[in-house]
Structure 1
Amino acid sequence: NRGRIITPLKDRFGAQIRTHYPADTDTELAIVDQEAHAPVSVPGGPRLEIPGFMAEVVAEMSQLARQSPHVNQHSGVSVRLSISNYETLAANAVRRALRLHEPEAVPRVSDLAAIVTSTQGKIEIEALEEGREERILQGLVSAAVLAVFRRRVPSEQLGPVVAAFDDSRVVHAGDDLPASAYAELLGQLPALEGPVLALAGSESPGVMASAAEFVLEGLHLTKRLNKDAAGGRATYRGRG
């Protein structure tokens, strides 16, 4: 039951049973960490690592959904949504690692499209137009990325990155690119390396790739870079 009121109990006892949702992202993440069943690494297979900032996006999306006027709050948004989306994000990363024969499976921004799909049907969107549900969910995901980006990435680190795009530079990202493509990008765009390394907290190629996508997407969402997207691919360029 995903609603706040369990009707049979209300009818029988004349009382309401209310569901209490996590009040903050940290609590939500703690529950997800305890309850989620991410794909298990197998000998010879990729090692799964979910960066803190990506896990935080999953929890933040649920928090935002509980405040959204587009979501039926009577039906509610269970923490099970965060658990399911966390598992979906992990599975998407593992699929890519297996496809590209990479040793690490690390979720990226380009994997977040998968949680739009996994969220559909788990919360009740108050939308009459066909196709609007997906747009609302995409908006929640973007808002979650933006909120985490603002918390995690100091704005003073970003000026040189934006300036590096003033020479008509174009950067490609996507869920089909190997981590090595982002290592090459950091070599070509040194200004990006500092913020990415600070966010990643690790020199792991997979985590660095994830952090690179996250910083680029954050710059787009804060209107400092333009973005063209098609399918699982994205192109970032300066706004000049």
Structure 2
Amino acid sequence: MRAPAPRPRAARALLLVFAVLGVGHLAALVAHAGAAPGSGPAALADTVVHLTKPALMPLLAAHVLLRGGPPLLAGALLFGCGGDTFLQIGGGTAFLVGMASFAAGHLCYLALFARHGRRGRAGGPAGAPGRRRARTAGAAGLYAAALVVTVVLLWPDLPADLRIPVAGYSLLLTVMAFGALWTAPWAAVGGLLFLLSDSLIAGGIARWPQLPAPQFWIMLTYTAAQCALAVGVLAAAGPRDPVPPMPRPALA
């Protein structure tokens, strides 16, 4: 499917709406955490949270399309919306469906990384291929170790019916985050933030000690992850409009 013609002015407007809605969503999460359970402020904050959460990723997906970005990137974000919606519904079945929707988004990201990633590009100083292989092996070892440690620590505390699905999803998420390393700096940041966000969710399911207002931290890292992934893929794909890119993060 071919990307639509870019409309940078409309893209900027949608990005502003996304940012305002995202800040409102995070503020409502903080307000809900600080309000007395069952009170009017808690009910109002809860309503704002439930109305704004499913709207965030469609706005970002529309921004991507108006930037002339890959439709598959918009698809990855919309699968994220599906995950957000089902996780918000609650319950074991909805959680599994939501996790499957996020997994579909990760598969979209992997396809985008394969298409637009910088692995194997020509150029670089003498000996660069050998250094790239060493860096790849080192990064793979670190991500694999993080996956194993996370699953081993979570396994005893997870409900029995969620152990295999969570382990499989964790593997796919880790592969996605690893693939993001070789796509663009912002994509790498997004992959790491996605790992952090989902680790916070898994820790809550396992009933580990939580940070104050845990949903705030989950949504902050998740929203930032999706934004960074979108920016990274747009940069790697070569957006066709004059919207100024975000500054390049300093990565080691």
Scaled by the length of structure 2, the TM-score of the pair is 0.27
**Structure ranking higher in helix proportion:** 2
Q: Which has the higher contact order (CA 8 A, sep 6+)?
A: 2
TM-score, length-normalised on structure 1? 0.28
